[in-house]
């Protein structure tokens, strides 16, 4: 069974079904549309009780009826929706400057069985403003007008002042207009202006000029323009306007100093490179004296600077013709009358006080640049030269503690010492000796004499460090030892000869004889130091040194060589022992041959020979190359020669057999 059918918003049960609370399965109930709704022709207006005790069927069996178009108010508009059905609402709004009178919203309802709107649509009326405010000493353009709607404007003006009185100024905006802030009530957009007498003080700028706007009195909105006097700069705005408060806005500018005045003139000088006639702070002006003039001796240029207070630094004195100052020489003076300064061309003679000597020129002349030339000398204590201090040496005559300038001394060394340098010197004005003082150096004792010879130092008395002497012998004798010796030092203190003196002796070496060989050069006698060379005849080879020299003891060194026959030694074993030599011997004569064979796996040569050459080497060399594949066995012509040993012949026959088998295999292929 089903409970009572559901209550639908757009339809209601017919009367016969109302009040029944239960319905059997498959029962059908019928609905009718409520007021304001109409039947949906696409659906049935019934519901059926189902097995699950629920009602089945389309429940949107009625649709809302439409309302007529409500229309739009003047100066307003309808806010969507586009269609109007029972239960819907329509909203209205007014254009800018208008306000809504009535209800802004109407509803689609059923009234007397008819679908219609529940009330009239509103109207839009212009937003009104109160009359504009009146002002003292003035009036507006809306005088006599009763209504002022949104957008209306009025313009104010001031009354004309009486004769002899200051005029009124309209302070504020001349025009105001009606507007709204809440879209209901009208208000004026700003306060009304005022008509009042505005007076600004006469604009005066120190060190400035009024360019425009000059008049006797200044009132509201009068404008003036300024610039500054020469060498002044504007600080602030060049233009200012009289405001309603009687003040200038922006404030009147200041004209501030920006340049020093023209730099002062200096007698007999010119200003160099002036760039314009403005001189800001730190500007530097250079004065140059005219030709033949100067500020001070040697000074022809001076400078002044524009200081932060826009004043010049101290101006220079005039340029004057140059004069030279009195010479200032310590312990010296002019030889004659002395003055504070001297004219150009004046020549002075200068002298020193007693016990002082003049260093430099004794006369000088005043130059056009105010300087003395030659440069002034100076006076120094009269110099003396100290006693020469020479180790192991002294003055040749009387000795003093010091010597006057010009004194000449002769110097000598102690015994066993030699003088190195000049043996005389002179005291100079600067207190030094010239030439420079010599020094005394140790000497070697005379070199030793040798019998039957002499040295190059004969006739010399002294032999200082580094001296070389060379010895020579009488004719027919040989010099045994170093020919030259030197005077040197072993300990850095004592001097000795570098070695003993050589000897002069008769030295003869026996004639060098080499069997089977020759000697060069050919000689009959062989004295000490002679060199000879040797070579061998024929196939003989030299054993030993090819050159020898006759020594002081009468022997030859190196020892004399010999000429021996050439032999070859058996070849050394080859790598991997790949060669076998037949009947090896300890040595082989020249042109003697040996036989060898390469072992299995080392070449395609079965049997070879090598011969001992004249230089003791084997030709060709014994070489066997390892094979990567089996080598072809070749016929050996010597296989059947006479004299082959039995064991060797057996081996050769086996090789021959292998060779024939290989040939057979090749033919079969």
Per-residue pLDDT tens over the stretch 560-570:
999 988 888 88
pLDDT above 50 for 651: yes
Span 549-588, pLDDT tens digits: 988 888 999 999 999 888 888 876 544 456 777 778 878 8
Sign of the C-alpha dihedral, residues 83, 84, 87, 93? positive
Sign of the C-alpha dihedral, residues 170, 173, 175, 176? negative
SS3 per residue for 71-93:
CCCCCEEEECCCCCECCCEEEEE
What does the pLDDT read at residue 602? 64
Q: Give the mean model confidence (pLDDT) for residues 324-338.
A: 89
Taking the C-alpha atoms of residue 15 and residue 38, their distance in angstroms, rounded to an integer, is 18
Taking the C-alpha atoms of residue 448 and residue 470, their distance in angstroms, rounded to an integer, is 11
DSSP string, 224-269: EEEEE-TTEEEES-SEEEE-TTS-EESPPPEEEE-S--PPPP-TTE
Taking the C-alpha atoms of residue 254 and residue 263, their distance in angstroms, rounded to an integer, is 25
What does the pLDDT read at residue 621? 80
What does the pLDDT read at residue 296? 82
Q: Judge contact between 151 and 132, C-beta under 8 A.
A: no
The model's confidence at residue 647, banded by pLDDT at 50, 70 and 90, is low
What does the pLDDT read at residue 638? 45
pLDDT above 50 for 650: yes
The model's confidence at residue 230, banded by pLDDT at 50, 70 and 90, is very high
CA distances from 316 to 261, 308, 351, 544, 563 (A): 16, 19, 37, 106, 113
What rounded mean pLDDT belongs to the chain?
A: 86
Span 523-537, pLDDT tens digits: 888 888 889 999 998
What does the pLDDT read at residue 463? 87
Taking the C-alpha atoms of residue 45 and residue 63, their distance in angstroms, rounded to an integer, is 12
What does the pLDDT read at residue 630? 44
| SS3 state of residue 622 | coil
Q: Give the mean model confidence (pLDDT) for residues 303-307.
A: 94
Q: How many Cβ atoms from other residues are within 10 Å of residue 361's Cβ?
A: 13
pLDDT above 90 for 65: yes
SS3 per residue for 143-156:
CCCCCEECCCEEEE
Top-confidence residue, 631 or 380 = 380
The model's confidence at residue 36, banded by pLDDT at 50, 70 and 90, is very high
Query: Two tokens at 303?
Result: 């400078």
Burial class (CB in 10 A: 0-12, 13-18, 19+), 177: middle
Taking the C-alpha atoms of residue 598 and residue 268, their distance in angstroms, rounded to an integer, is 122
pLDDT above 70 for 481: yes
Sign of the C-alpha dihedral, residues 472, 478, 481, 482? positive
217-234 as b/e, with b when 16 or more CB fall inside 10 Å? ebbbebebebebeebbeb
Q: Judge contact between 43 and 60, C-beta under 8 A.
A: yes
pTM score: 0.38
Indicate the length of the chain as a whole number.
669
**Token pair 């425009």 is at which residue?**
212
Span 426-455, pLDDT tens digits: 998 888 899 999 988 888 888 999 898 899
What does the pLDDT read at residue 576? 43
Q: Which residues pair with 228 in a beta bridge?
A: 208
What does the pLDDT read at residue 79? 87
What does the pLDDT read at residue 604? 46
| SS3 state of residue 619 | strand
Top-confidence residue, 606 or 557 = 557
Span 168-216, pLDDT tens digits: 999 989 999 999 999 899 999 999 999 999 999 999 999 999 999 898 8
Report strand pairing: 76-79 vs 89-94: antiparallel
């Amino acid at each position: 069974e089903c409970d009572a059918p559901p209550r639908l918003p757009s339809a209601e049960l017919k009367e016969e079904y109302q009040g029944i609370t239960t319905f059997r399965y498959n029962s059908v109930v019928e609905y009718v549309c409520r007021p304001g709704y109409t039947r949906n022709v696409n659906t049935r207006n019934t519901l059926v009780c189902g097995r699950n005790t629920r009602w089945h069927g389309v429940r949107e069996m009625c649709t809302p009826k439409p309302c007529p178009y409500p229309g739009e108010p003047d100066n307003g508009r309808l806010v969507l929706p586009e269609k109007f059905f029972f239960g819907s609402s329509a909203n209205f709004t007014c254009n800018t400057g208008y306000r809504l009178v009535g209800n802004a919203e109407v509803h689609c309802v059923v009234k007397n069985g008819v679908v219609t709107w529940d009330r009239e649509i509103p109207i839009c009326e212009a937003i009104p403003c109160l009359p504009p405010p009146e002002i003292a000493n003035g009036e507006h353009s809306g005088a006599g007008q009763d209504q002022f709607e949104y957008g209306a404007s009025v313009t104010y003006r001031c009354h004309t002042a009486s004769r002899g009185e200051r005029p009124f100024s309209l302070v504020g905006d001349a025009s105001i207009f009606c507007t709204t802030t809440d879209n209901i009530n009208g208000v004026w957009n700003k306060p009304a202006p005022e008509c009042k007498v505005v007076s600004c003080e006469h604009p005066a700028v120190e060190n400035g000029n009024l360019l425009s706007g000059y008049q006797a009195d200044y009132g509201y909105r009068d404008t003036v323009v300024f610039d500054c006097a020469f060498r002044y700069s504007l600080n602030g705005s060049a233009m200012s306007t009289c405001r309603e408060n009687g003040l200038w806005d922006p404030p009147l500018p200041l004209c501030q100093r920006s340049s020093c005045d023209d730099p002062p003139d200096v007698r007999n000088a010119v200003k160099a490179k002036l760039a314009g006639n403005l001189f800001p702070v730190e500007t530097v002006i250079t004065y140059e004296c005219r030709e033949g003039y100067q500020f001070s001796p040697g000074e022809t240029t001076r400078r002044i600077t524009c200081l932060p207070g826009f004043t010049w630094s101290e101006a220079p004195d005039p340029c004057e013709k140059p004069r030279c100052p009195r010479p200032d020489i310590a312990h010296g003076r002019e030889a004659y009358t002395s003055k504070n300064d001297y004219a150009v061309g004046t020549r002075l003679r200068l002298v020193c006080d007693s016990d002082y000597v003049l260093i430099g020129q004794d006369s000088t002349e005043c130059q056009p640049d105010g300087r003395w030339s030659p440069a002034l000398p100076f006076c120094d204590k009269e110099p003396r030269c100290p006693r020469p201090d020479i180790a192991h040496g002294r003055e040749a005559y009387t000795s003093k503690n010091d010597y006057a300038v010009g004194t000449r001394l002769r110097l000598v060394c102690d015994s066993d010492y030699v003088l190195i340098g000049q043996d005389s010197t002179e005291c100079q004005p600067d207190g030094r000796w010239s030439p420079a003082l010599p020094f005394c150096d140790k000497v070697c004792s005379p070199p030793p004499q040798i019998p039957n010879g002499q040295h190059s130092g004969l006739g010399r008395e002294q032999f200082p460090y580094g001296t070389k002497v060379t010895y020579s012998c009488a004719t027919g004798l040989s010099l045994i030892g170093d020919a030259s010796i030197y005077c040197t030092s072993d300990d850095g203190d004592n001097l000795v000869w570098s070695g003993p003196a050589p000897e002069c002796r008769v030295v003869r070496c026996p004639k060098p004889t080499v069997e089977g060989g020759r000697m060069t050069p050919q000689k009959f006698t062989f004295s000490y130091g002679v060199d000879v060379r040797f070579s061998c005849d024929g196939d003989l080879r030299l054993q030993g040194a090819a050159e020898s020299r006759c020594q002081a003891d009468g022997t030859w060194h190196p020892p004399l060589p010999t000429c021996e026959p050439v032999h070859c030694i058996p070849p050394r074993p080859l790598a991997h022992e790949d060669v076998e030599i037949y009947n090896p011997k300890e040595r082989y004569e020249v042109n003697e041959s040996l036989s060898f064979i390469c072992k299995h796996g080392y070449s395609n040569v079965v049997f070879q020979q090598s011969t001992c050459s004249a230089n003791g080497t084997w030709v060709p060399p014994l070489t066997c190359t390892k094979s990567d594949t089996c080598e072809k066995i070749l016929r050996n012509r010597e296989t059947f020669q006479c004299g082959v040993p039995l064991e060797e012949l057996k081996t050769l026959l086996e090789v021959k057999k292998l060779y024939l088998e290989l040939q057979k295999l090749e033919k079969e292929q």
